[in-house]
Amino acid sequence: MARKKKYNPMKDSNKTIKKSEGKVHVVNFASYTKPEVTEVYNRDWVEYGEDNNYFQYLIERYNGSPTNNAAINGIADMIYGKGLDAVEGEDSKGYDEMKGLFSKKCLKSVCYDYKMMGNAAFQVIYSKDRKSIARVEHIPVQTLRAEKASKSGQIEAYYYHKDWVNKKTSENPLRIPAFGFSKKDIEIVYIKPYKAGYFYYSPVDYQGGLQYAEMEEEIANYHISNIQNGLAPSMLINFNNGVPTEEERTLLEQKIYDKFSGSSNAGRFILAFNDSKELSASIEPVQLSDAHQQYQFLSDESMKKVMVSHRIVSPMLVGIKDSSGLGNNAEELQTASVLMDNTVIRPLQVTILDEIEEILQFNGIELDIYFKTLQPLEFTDLTNAISDAEIEKETGVKKDVNTEVADSDIEVEEPDNTDTE
């Protein structure tokens, strides 16, 4: 069976230049198209993207764009923070069981998948008598495809295959029931936020920045090609002793390419031997355009647009140096950190925590859980934190242990009651 082509939603816009005799190739740019969700009549699962390969496309944009990579890593780390905790503390009923069910590796992987893929999944393994959940494990979300909705409009199972891109027709994916829809030993808890117009899969929250992530990747490829083919754009070589055969032209072209292209050949010279001046080869410099300036603009623009799509208030928060100076001083960085924590990180955490609570409730565990923040103590905002539980969720500091620290180290701005006339 022929291997499927690599999925790319930028239809007809891959900028690859092909060799062709005496022809100029025109590169057409097409608009970005959203991923297709397809129900194929003879399959029980629902495909995601052209060639059922959209998750792989997201992985490629993560690997290819340095800005997208840094943003996803930074936000995923912020979602997990310092790990899962509960307001009730270590001595409370069910706390140790919660810690035993959800390992650090499992939770970190789920936070990473959720940010990068827009979806994530837990695999719950029940006890032998099926009266409780014995273990919870992460399952890579790109290995799952949703089953077609039942007559009642619910997704009752997911299909697993380790590599959907290269799945053979003869291979049957494993059907795993969704949480609460079977009496099987293993079920899937699928995590996705509500997005209007989407049912089976949720798009990533940085969907609008994907074309810019791909642009950043293509710009890097352009510069690499310039280095590897350094001779091509800078000079024109004319041979004035007749037109050789096609075989001779190909051989000569390859010899010149091998000797003078690439970064390691910079500074080399050409030594030519000729019968007469009239028959000598001429080398003419080619005037370079301002393409490098255009590419620098596109590179900067791509980085900005990718960060905007991730709603990053200050690049410094995800480890990207910002030359503009915006958000580089301590006060601006603190404001940016609080804003991003409240508007970006917390909503992502809540969706994951809701699913964790459902799993805990099956085991009869009722805890007020949260992810401990990565923010420095002095960056936390206690303006709307009234109870001890709210203060702990904001700071990650338990009152019974660090009351004095919390009271003395966090400055609360007092209202100015001075009368002014």
Q: Give long-range contacts, CB 8 A cutoff, 24+ apart: 292-301.
A: 295/219, 295/222, 295/223, 298/215, 298/219, 299/216, 299/219, 301/212
| pLDDT: which is higher, 236 or 61 | 61
Closest CA to 343 of 78, 83, 87: 78
Closest CA to 59 of 3, 135, 141: 141
pLDDT in tens, 108-144: 999 999 999 999 999 999 999 999 999 999 999 999 9
Q: What's the whole-model pTM score?
A: 0.74
CA distance 314 to 339: 10
CB within 8 Å of 84: residues ≥ 6 apart: 98, 99, 102, 107, 356, 369, 370, 371, 372
CA distance 232 to 222: 13
| pLDDT: which is higher, 129 or 298 | 129
- Whether residue 232 has pLDDT greater than 50: no
Q: Which of the residue ranges 18-22, 86-90, 241-245 would you say has the lowest mean pLDDT?
A: 18-22
Residue 369 CB neighbour total at 10 angstroms: 19
Largest CA distance in the chain: 99
CA distance 344 to 310: 9
- Whether residue 198 has pLDDT greater than 60: yes
CA distance 184 to 394: 39
| pLDDT: which is higher, 100 or 241 | 100
Q: What is the mean pLDDT of the chain?
A: 79
- Whether residue 234 has pLDDT greater than 60: no
Q: Which of the residue ranges 68-82, 175-189, 288-302, 402-416 would you say has the lowest mean pLDDT?
A: 402-416
| pLDDT: which is higher, 343 or 35 | 343
- Whether residue 95 has pLDDT greater than 60: yes
Closest CA to 71 of 212, 198, 193: 212
Q: Note the residue count of the chain.
A: 421
Q: Residues 63-68: what's their mean pLDDT?
A: 94
Pairing relationship of beta strands 84-86 and 46-48 according to DSSP bridges? unpaired
Q: Residues 259-287: what's their mean pLDDT?
A: 59
- Whether residue 356 has pLDDT greater than 80: yes
pLDDT in tens, 143-184: 999 999 999 999 999 999 999 988 888 899 999 999 999 999
From first CA to last CA, the distance across the chain in angstroms is 85
pLDDT in tens, 308-349: 999 998 888 877 766 554 445 777 888 888 889 999 999 999
Closest CA to 53 of 156, 196, 161, 133: 161
Structure-token match 């399952």, residue found:
139
